[in-house]
Amino acid sequence: MLHGTLYVLLFLVPLAGYVHRLAGAHPVSFFGLVDMPVFIGRDEPLRLLTDTLHRGLVPTLALLMIAHIAAALKHKFIDRDGVAGRMGI
């Protein structure tokens, strides 16, 4: 369950940021190397929505990543049940 949520958030966070920038009529480049395609024009309600989504999803992703790391460390040092070994740590 946690893995699936992490993967969804890893997709949604940058997507919300990308759409937010496009809806604000700002160009988006990939590390200054490649300009990303523009799929939408200026749209203030969409910009505000994606700003709210992006700002809400980022801390959610961070908290879930911390929980995931904590669970891995718990398996390694407290449970010692072999799960950490299967994860490669």
How many domains, the chain?
Answer: 1
pTM, 2 dp: 0.83
**pLDDT of amino acid 1:** 84
**Nearest-angstrom CA–CA distance, 74 and 60:** 21
Q: Which two tokens stand for residue 34?
A: 């490649």
Q: Which domain holds residue 39?
A: 2-87
pLDDT digits (tens, 9 = 90+) for 15-73: 999 999 999 999 999 899 999 999 999 999 999 999 999 999 999 999 999 999 998 89
Q: What are phi and psi of 82, to 5 degrees?
A: 90, -10
CB distance 37 to 67 below 8 Å: no
| Spatial CA neighbour of 7 closest among 89, 76, 81, 65 | 65
